[in-house]
Amino acid sequence: MSTTTADHTEDHAHAHGHGLGEAVTHDAAKFGMWLFLGTEILLFGGLFAAYALFRAKYPDLFVEYHKNLDLEKGVFNTFVLLFSSFTMALAVLFAQRKKQLYTTIFLAITFVCGAIFAIVKYFEYAHKFEDHIYPSKNIFYALYYMTTGLHMIHVFIGMIIILALLGMNMKGKFVKGRYTPVEVGGLYWHLVDLIWIYLFPLMYLIG
Amino acid sequence: MANGIAADSTYESYLAKKGFTAWALTTDHKRIGIMYLITISFFFLLAGVTALLMRYELLTPELDFFSTTTQYNVAFTLHGSLMVFFFIVPGIAASLGNFLIPLMIGARDVAFPRLNLLSYWVYLVGTVILMTALAQPADTGWTFYTPYSVETGTNVILITLGVFVLGFSSILTGMNFIVTVHKLRAPGMTWNRLPLFIWASYATAILQLLATPVVGITLLLLIMEKSLDIGFFDPAKGGDPILFQNFFWFYSHPAVYIMVIPAFGIISEIIPVFARKPIFGYRAIAYSSFAIAIISFFVWLHHMFVSGISETAAAIFSFLTMLVAIPTAIKVFNWLATLYKGSIEFHSSMLYALSFIFLFTIGGLTGVFLGALAVDVHLHDTYFVVAHMHYVMIGGTVMGFFGALHFWYPKWFGKTFNELTAKASWFLVFVGFNVTFFPQFFMGYQGMPRRYATYPEQFQSAHVLSTYGSWILGLGIFIMTVNLIAGIFSRKVPEGNPYKSLSLEWQMPSPPPHNNFEDIPIVTDWTYAYGKK
């Protein structure tokens, strides 16, 4: 292969810099996150496939037992998560515009929304356990606990990410124009929201 | 060949820094590649020993070496799980991919170096979890089929958890490589100038990304099924055991190509160098990797022809399975055309590459037998499947892996091994492999089922032959390993580019400098312009 070096070209500065350029890092990080989100969808895709199979097999079971789910809490949580996606988007916007304070506020609101979601979910689960409804009760509940439980783990991971983003923002990282982490973290949070948007009707709104 | 990246006599090699943390905390893709190489080689040898034990048991029709049949079941479960999940899936992709991808595309590292280090450690955590399971290992076979895996008292949970953790490593590595190939190619390194190993690694990474999460959720469901008493896969509780098989093979069939496509890439690199000819049908080889990757997602049902699936589905999947043979054959014919009228040099790595073509073709064609619906009903779960699988995995992937070990060895270590010993060990490996596995085609055809510790006497002569073969194979691999380790301590320093390869990774000193390229190269021609200049 014929090669020459990049000496004395426009790339000179870039070629000698040992890190990658900011633009390349930004693009790479976003691209990487999108790929990762694809794997998340396939992860949940397995559960959705199991859901499709068992619902087709036992339609009555699903209609019967979904009535025991707490629809009000489900609706409330759906709006909480939807709102959190909105605040997350605002946090990204303000980080890009280098408004440190607003970024902090909206990241914090997003975090609180995640916490509210988790607390409501805790009461939902606790109530089910009081009634001795465990995953082993039947296929519907097994699916309910598996899907919402796995989603809950994702909410927690998302909240940890938001905490890390808050820390970065406090240190003034985004103000310097390096807002890639908040954008990538935002993508993750939107996915967590999106999965719930599918889970909610599939579990709570049958029949 | 303009040697723009000529050796600087005072460069610092990537191997220069010593010490535990200099390795354990490195973000250098080359070091991470070497760490993978050592780890997977360890698991390969360990899994190889379990195979030798199984073959030893099979010398006689009765159970004599193992004291219970469960021990035999444990042995083949360990052999399969270690080989598949801890050697061959992460094997070539992670070890060679890490070392070679940035060098071949003219980058200083992968896109996410710290994530890359994390992937290695996650892989290691997976192996540690698996090792703790060794105290009471599973006896389910590497496929963990339900309902048996749910019912057995052996430790299925830990072994599947280990594989689950491993999946994260696989996904992160795949994501890292895709982004690296997209974003970090040197100026002038266009898609159609990429070395074919890069194309192969890229196709593999896509498979890792799309298939691995599905086996992740499958194993998670299995773990929950066992620990929380759920009935997803248990018909008694309304579940469906076939669902597990569907999930499992939706990953594990594409995974077969995660295992073998990197080897295609290796062969495509070795052959033009030692035939001194441009690779024939560059684009056909590059794109056929993608054709294989795509088709591989639509063939999983061919593992389940006798699992009670609908005949229509079986017929469709049988047809789709045949389709895989087309892109695969395209590759084989292109390699042969590259060899045609070439000036062939039989370097040890070339011997492995040539054995790859021969053995993989046998493995591929017997795969067509098994993909044919009616034939499969007869051959399903027999030694014919065992032989086919090993012709693809050892005859294909492992031959490619051994070829790569001998080919890039001077690049990695700046040292070389004894070539005569390497050729001798190749001969033993080649002969030993065929003596071990060729008789198994006949055994399987005559009805010898897989996974049995005891068998009717009529099969004994074939089994004895197969076991003798395994000893030859084991001896060959042992000599090869000793030869390669001894090479590191030898004083023989090869030239920087001993094969006069035109590929980018050879246009730099060996071992490579810590930072790969002082100046990012500008690429002006494709990798395979042999004989033109």
- pLDDT of A91 over the 80 cut: yes
Interchain contact B526–A (C-beta under 8 A)? yes
Report angle CA B156, A155, B165 to the nearest 5 degrees: 25
User: B333 or A7: which carries more pLDDT confidence?
Assistant: B333
DSSP letters of A15-69?
A: HH-SS--HHHHHHHHHHHHHHHHHHHHHHHHHHHHHHHHHHHH-HHHHHHHHTTS
Q: Which two tokens stand for residue B65?
A: 């070496």
Write out chain A residues lying below 8 Å of B222, CB-based.
none
Residue given tokens 């409804």 in the structure block: A133
User: A1 or A21: which carries more pLDDT confidence?
Assistant: A21
Nearest by CB to residue A11, choosing from B179, B210, B520, is B520
Average pLDDT for chain B: 92
Rounded Cα distance between B327 and B333, Å, is: 10
What is the three-class DSSP state of B521? strand
Give the containing element (helix H, strand E) for B178.
helix B156-183
Interchain contact B525–A (C-beta under 8 A)? yes
- Per-residue model confidence as pLDDT tens digits over B432-472: 999 999 999 999 999 999 999 999 999 999 999 999 999 99
pLDDT of B247: 93
Quote the DSSP letter at residue A177.
T
Write out chain A residues lying below 8 Å of B4, CB-based.
3-5
**Which chain A residue has the Cα nearest residue B104?**
A1
CA atoms within 13 A on the CB side of A176: 9
Confidence of residue A19 (pLDDT cuts 50, 70, 90): low
Distances (CA, A) of B19 to B23, B25, B95, B428, B485: 7, 10, 21, 37, 20
Q: What percent of chain B has pLDDT over 90?
A: 80
pLDDT of B470: 97
Q: CB burial class (10 A; 0-12, 13-18, 19+) of residue B330? A: middle
Nearest-Å Rg of the Cα atoms of chain B is 23
Rounded Cα distance between B510 and B497, Å, is: 8
Lowest-confidence pick of B29-38, B82-91, B126-135, B510-519: B126-135
Q: How many CB atoms lie within 10 A of CB B253?
A: 21
Rounded Cα distance between B95 and B31, Å, is: 10
pLDDT of B277: 93
Burial B106-136 (b: 16+ CB within 10 A, else e): bbbbbbbbebbbbbbebbbebbebbeebeee
Give how far A136 is from chain B: nearest CA, Å: 5
> In this complex, do A1 and B503 lie within 8 Å of one another by their Cβ atoms?
yes
Residue given tokens 């069939």 in the structure block: B253
Per-residue pLDDT, averaged over A138-149, amounts to: 94
- Per-residue model confidence as pLDDT tens digits over B256-274: 999 999 999 999 999 999 9
Chain B, residues 52-111, CB within 8 A of chain A, namely 106, 108, 111
Q: Which of B183, B309, B532 to mutate to test the interface with A (most CBs of A within 10 A)?
A: B183
Closest Cα partner for B492 from B421, B386, B397, B387?
B421
Chain B, residues 149-208, CB within 8 A of chain A, namely 171, 175-176, 178-179, 182-184, 187, 193
What is the three-class DSSP state of B204? helix
- pLDDT of B133 over the 90 cut: no
Write out chain B residues lying below 8 Å of A27, CB-based.
183
Per-residue pLDDT, averaged over A174-184, amounts to: 91
Nearest by CB to residue A3, choosing from B108, B220, B523, is B523
Q: How many CB atoms lie within 10 A of CB B237?
A: 15
Rounded Cα distance between B453 and B520, Å, is: 57
The complex's ipTM? 0.90
Quote the DSSP letter at residue B495.
-
In whole angstroms, what separates CA B245 from the centre of its chain?
22
Rounded Cα distance between B528 and B276, Å, is: 9
Q: Which two tokens stand for residue B407?
A: 């080919």
- Per-residue model confidence as pLDDT tens digits over A66-90: 998 999 999 999 999 999 999 999 9
- Per-residue model confidence as pLDDT tens digits over B473-490: 999 999 999 999 999 998
- pLDDT of A9 over the 70 cut: no
- pLDDT of A13 over the 90 cut: no
Distances (CA, A) of B226 to A51, B129, B140: 19, 17, 14
pLDDT of B3: 41
Write out chain B residues lying below 8 Å of A24, CB-based.
183-184
pLDDT of B452: 94
pLDDT of B532: 62
Give how far A164 is from chain B: nearest CA, Å: 17
Nearest by CB to residue A138, choosing from B111, B228, B238, is B238
Q: Which two tokens stand for residue A65?
A: 């037992």
- Per-residue model confidence as pLDDT tens digits over B188-223: 999 999 999 999 999 999 999 999 999 999 999 999
Average pLDDT for chain A: 89
Domains and CATH numbers, chain B: 20-506 (1.20.210.10)
Write out chain A residues lying below 8 Å of B179, CB-based.
28, 31-32, 35
Q: What percent of chain A has pLDDT over 70?
A: 91
Rounded Cα distance between B7 and B509, Å, is: 5
Domain spanning A26-204, CATH class: mainly alpha
Confidence of residue A1 (pLDDT cuts 50, 70, 90): very low
Interchain contact B422–A (C-beta under 8 A)? no
> In this complex, do A46 and B217 lie within 8 Å of one another by their Cβ atoms?
yes
> In this complex, do A58 and B238 lie within 8 Å of one another by their Cβ atoms?
yes
Rounded Cα distance between B24 and B17, Å, is: 12
Closest Cα partner for B11 from B349, B504, B471, B516?
B516
C-beta separation of B357 from B344 below 8 A: no
> In this complex, do A20 and B184 lie within 8 Å of one another by their Cβ atoms?
yes
Burial A188-202 (b: 16+ CB within 10 A, else e): bbbbbbbbbeebbeb
Give the containing element (helix H, strand E) for A187.
helix A180-204
Write out chain A residues lying below 8 Å of B503, CB-based.
1
> In this complex, do A14 and B515 lie within 8 Å of one another by their Cβ atoms?
no
Per-residue pLDDT, averaged over A177-202, amounts to: 95
Give how far B116 is from chain A: nearest CA, Å: 13
C-beta separation of B215 from B258 below 8 A: no
Confidence of residue B155 (pLDDT cuts 50, 70, 90): confident
- pLDDT of A118 over the 60 cut: yes
Report angle CA A5, B177, B104 to the nearest 5 degrees: 30
Rounded Cα distance between B405 and B398, Å, is: 10
- Per-residue model confidence as pLDDT tens digits over B321-377: 999 999 999 999 999 999 999 999 999 999 999 999 999 999 999 999 999 999 999
- Per-residue model confidence as pLDDT tens digits over B494-509: 888 899 999 999 999 8
Confidence of residue B236 (pLDDT cuts 50, 70, 90): confident
pLDDT of B9: 55
- pLDDT of A10 over the 70 cut: no
Confidence of residue B12 (pLDDT cuts 50, 70, 90): confident
Q: Which two tokens stand for residue B109?
A: 């590292």
pLDDT of B10: 67
Per-residue pLDDT, averaged over B298-318, amounts to: 92
Terminal Cα distance for chain B, rounded: 8
Q: Which two tokens stand for residue B376?
A: 């499969």
User: B429 or A172: which carries more pLDDT confidence?
Assistant: B429
> In this complex, do A50 and B210 lie within 8 Å of one another by their Cβ atoms?
no
pLDDT of B467: 97
pLDDT of B531: 77
